[in-house]
């Protein structure tokens, strides 16, 4: 079971977005995209090593986590300027090889007020890095060993929200929520972890339930771990995408809603279903969800998170993060894990 859960770790990815910032800074014309049209020409960025997450700053730079090769500690955060020039920003994060022979290490990251909040799934740590004085192309890369990560994993394993399964932690994706606290989905513990803005105290905010395995008893266990991959906050509730564990049955991945005002543990309610291997979500300017599906048994997609039947772009090769630009109207960026690239889309 450990191996199966480890396998799910590397395929899960991403993130959340500053809905409020995205809305107020830009004059988006397309409130609810019906289609995403890819930019012509080469991809916005390529050559990324096992990339997992993207975020953007108010200057239009895209910051991306790369898990690395797993053969040396070459996990890193790369920054890509609006013109598409890529520079290493933080280098030398631990990168290891999972039992399934894929690189693992850094997971998602999030920009807020001059700082990057960066998760490392294998270390179970949160890094907070001030980048206000970092100039892409001229600043020397920050060395990861100079940073002090905050331990998340030990708390999560001790809290053991996924009991009776093994104690696991894989801090995977994050968003800011009520009181400005940070909310982290842990893909190993199947839980939402709250980190107090003021004193850094950690608590379990919600637990994502197992789902019945439609292929049991032929393939896999009777129930599957939810494996949360993305989290977004709309000002009152959280929306959470789930990968759904091995064997990743087509059409059985859910989006959950978790109240932002409930007392912990807040009980997730089913928001939408019928998806496959969800990896991320983002709100459109009109408040509608867009989601990414990794593509196991079926092709990967960018789809409406309100209706699983509505594809916005397909096939998409192993998409793991979707971002609504803070600076360019009607522009979405999508990160592709397998081919290591970022594509730019215009909403239509
Ligand atoms: Ca995202
Ligand atoms: Ca379970």
| CA 319–ligand 2 middle distance (angstroms) | 25
| CA gap 78, 100 in Å, rounded | 25
Correct CATH for 5-347 of 1.10.1370.30, 2.30.40.10, 2.120.10.30, 3.30.1340.30: 2.120.10.30
| CA 103–ligand 2 middle distance (angstroms) | 24
| Rounded alpha-carbon distances, angstroms, from residue 34 to 51, 139, 290, 328 | 27, 40, 10, 18
Ligand nearest to the CA of 163: 2
| CA 30–ligand 2 middle distance (angstroms) | 40
Kindly compute the dihedral angle of the four CA atoms of residues 309, 313, 315, 320, in this order, to the nearest 10 degrees.
-100
Per-residue pLDDT of the chain (348 residues; tens, 9 = 90+): 344 344 333 344 333 333 444 444 568 899 999 999 999 999 999 999 999 999 999 999 999 999 999 999 999 999 999 999 999 999 999 999 988 788 999 999 999 999 999 999 999 999 999 999 999 999 999 999 999 999 999 999 999 999 999 999 999 999 999 999 999 999 999 999 999 999 999 999 999 999 999 888 888 889 999 999 999 999 999 999 999 998 898 999 999 999 999 899 999 999 999 999 999 999 999 999 999 999 998 899 999 999 999 999 999 999 999 999 999 999 999 999 999 999 999 999
Give me the phi and psi of 178, to 5 degrees please. -55, 140
Contacts of 186 (CB under 8 A, 6+ apart): 152, 156, 161, 169, 170, 171, 172, 192, 193, 228
**pTM of this prediction?**
0.92
| CA gap 14, 322 in Å, rounded | 8
Q: What angle do CA 285, 234, 315 make, to 5 degrees?
A: 55
Ligand nearest to the CA of 291: 1
Ligand nearest to the CA of 166: 2
Ligand nearest to the CA of 334: 1
| CA 323–ligand 1 middle distance (angstroms) | 5
Q: What is the pLDDT of residues 268-327, one digit of tens each?
A: 999 999 999 999 999 999 999 999 999 998 899 999 999 999 999 999 999 999 999 999
Query: What pLDDT does 168 receive?
Result: 97
Ligand nearest to the CA of 229: 1
Beta strands 142-143 and 86-93 are parallel
| CA 129–ligand 1 middle distance (angstroms) | 19
| CA 263–ligand 1 middle distance (angstroms) | 26
């Amino acid at each position: 079971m450990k191996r199966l859960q480890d396998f799910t770790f590397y395929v899960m990815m991403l993130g959340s977005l500053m809905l409020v910032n995205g809305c107020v800074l830009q004059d988006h014309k397309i409130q609810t995209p019906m289609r995403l049209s890819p930019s012509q020409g080469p991809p916005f960025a390529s050559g990324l090593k096992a990339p997992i997450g993207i975020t953007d700053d108010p200057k239009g730079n895209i910051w991306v986590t790369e898990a690395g090769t797993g053969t040396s500690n070459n996990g890193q955060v790369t920054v890509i300027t609006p013109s598409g020039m890529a520079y290493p920003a933080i280098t030398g994060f631990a990168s290891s090889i999972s039992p399934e022979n894929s690189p693992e290490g850094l997971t998602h990251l999030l920009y807020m007020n001059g700082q990057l909040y960066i998760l490392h799934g294998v270390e179970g740590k949160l890094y907070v890095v001030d980048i206000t004085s970092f100039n892409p192309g001229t600043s020397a890369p920050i060395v990861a060993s100079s940073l002090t990560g905050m331990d998340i994993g030990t708390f999560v394993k001790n809290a053991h929200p996924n009991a009776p399964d093994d104690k696991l932690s894989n801090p995977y994706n994050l968003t800011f929520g009520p009181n400005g606290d940070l909310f982290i989905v842990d893909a190993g513990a199947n839980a939402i972890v709250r980190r107090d803005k003021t004193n850094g105290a950690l608590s379990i905010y919600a637990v994502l339930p197992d789902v019945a395995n439609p292929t049991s008893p032929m393939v896999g266990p009777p129930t599957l771990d939810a494996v949360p991959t993305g989290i977004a906050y709309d000002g009152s509730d959280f929306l959470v995408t789930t990968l759904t564990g091995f064997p990743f049955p087509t059409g059985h991945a859910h989006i959950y809603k978790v109240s932002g005002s409930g007392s912990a543990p807040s009980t997730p309610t089913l928001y939408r279903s019928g998806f496959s291997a969800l990896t991320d979500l983002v709100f459109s300017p009109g408040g509608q969800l867009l989601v990414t599906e990794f593509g196991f048994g079926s092709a990967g997609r960018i789809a409406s998170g309100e209706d699983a039947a509505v594809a916005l772009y397909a096939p998409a090769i192993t998409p793991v993060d979707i971002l609504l630009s803070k600076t360019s109207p009607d522009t979405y960026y999508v990160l592709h894990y397998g081919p290591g690239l970022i594509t730019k889309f215009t909403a239509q």
